Amino acid sequence: MTIAKKEFSDKLYERSSLILMAIFIGTLFVYIQYASTFSDVVQIIGVFFPLMGIALGYDAIIAEKNSKSLNVLMTHPVYRDNVIIGKYIGICLNLFCIVFFSLMVIMASDFLISGKVAQLESITRLFFFGFFTFCYLLIFASFGVVTSIILKSEIASLTLGVVTWINLCFALGPTIIMLTSIITGESMFDSTDKFFSTGYLLFSISPIHHFAEVTVGLQDLSYGTFNVAKEINGFLDTRYTISYLLNYYWQNVLFLIALPIILIIGSYISFMREDI
C-alpha cells in the first residue's frame, strides 16, 4: 500500500497528468453542450481518453529502472510482487478519479441542461457506463505497464503506446475498411453482407469496438468508419433490463473485463522474470 500511495500521489500531482486530465475533462464539458447525441460524447471518451491510460502506465516501471530507484527499493525487504501490485493499485486509483470526474461532468451537464431530476435508473445505467469506461481505460494503462517493463526507454514506451492508440482507436475504421476490401475483393459502397460481416469480425480485435457496443450500440467510434447501429443502444438504453443487456452483450463485457486482467498477468510475469 505504501508503493500504491506513492504511485497515486506521483501521478495525481504530476504536472503533465494534471494538464492532460484538465484538457480532456474540459473538452468533454464543452463538447457536451454542443453534442447532438450521447454517442458523440462517448466518442470523445472512447477515442481520446485512452491517452490518459497510456500516460499513467508507460513509465510505471521504466522510470524506476532508469533512475536506479528500483535497485535501491529491492535492497529493502520488499518483494517484487509488492512493487508491481502496488503500481497497479496506484494506477487504478488514478483511473477511478478520472472516470469519476468525467461522470460528474456528464451528470451535471445533463441534469442542468435538461432540468430533469436524477432517477435511480439513470444513475444505475451511468454506473455501468463508468465501470465499462474504467475497464476500457485500464486496458491501455496495462498495455503501458507492459511496455514499460519490456522496453529500455520511456520515449520508446510512450511512442509504442501512442502508435497503438492511433491504430486501435483513432484510425481503426479506415484501416478495417481497407483490410476488408482486400480480403473480400469488394467495396464498402457495394453494401454486401459479406463485406459487413468480414468488417465486423475484424473490428472485434479492438477494445473500442467492444466499448462502443456496450455503451451506445455502435460498431465503432473511431473516425472515418462505417457505423452499423444496433436496435439496442447499449447499457444506456432504458427500454431493456440490466439482466437482458448482460445476456445480450456478454461477449463484449467479457472482453472488457478479461483483456486488462490478461495484460496485468502478463506484466506481472514479465516483471518477476526481469533482470534487475
CB atoms closer than 10 angstroms to residue 222: 25
On the question of pLDDT at 265 being above 60, the answer is yes
Residue 135 pLDDT: 94
Mean pLDDT, rounded, of the chain: 80
* Residue, of 108 and 251, whose pLDDT is higher: 251
Confidence bin at 237 (pLDDT 50/70/90):
confident
Average pLDDT over residues 155-183: 84
pLDDT digits (tens, 9 = 90+) for 92-122: 888 888 888 888 877 776 666 555 666 777 7
**Total residues belonging to the chain:** 276
pLDDT of residue 133: 92
pLDDT surpasses 70 at 51: yes
Mean pLDDT across 201-229: 78
Contact 260/268 with Cβ under 8 angstroms?
no
Predicted pLDDT at 66: 72
List the single range of 28-37, 81-90, 214-223, 249-258 with lowest mean pLDDT.
28-37
Q: Pick 145 or 17 by higher pLDDT.
A: 145
Of the given ranges (42-51, 145-154, 188-197, 259-268), which has the lowest mean pLDDT?
188-197
Q: Cα–chain-centroid distance for residue 248?
A: 21
pLDDT digits (tens, 9 = 90+) for 135-165: 999 999 999 989 988 888 888 888 998 998 8
According to DSSP, residue 205 is labeled T
Mean pLDDT value of segment 45-50: 88
- Amino acid residing at 273: R
DSSP string, 29-49: HHHHHH-SSHHHHHHHHHHHT
What Cα–Cα distance (Å) separates residue 143 from each residue in 16, 47, 54, 138, 157?
19, 16, 7, 8, 10
Question: Is the confidence at residue 271, as pLDDT, over 70?
Answer: yes
Q: What is the mean pLDDT of residues 245-259?
A: 91
Instruction: Work out the pLDDT band at 242, boundaries 50, 70, 90.
Output: confident
Q: Is 118 left (phi over 0), alpha (psi -120 to 50) or beta?
A: beta
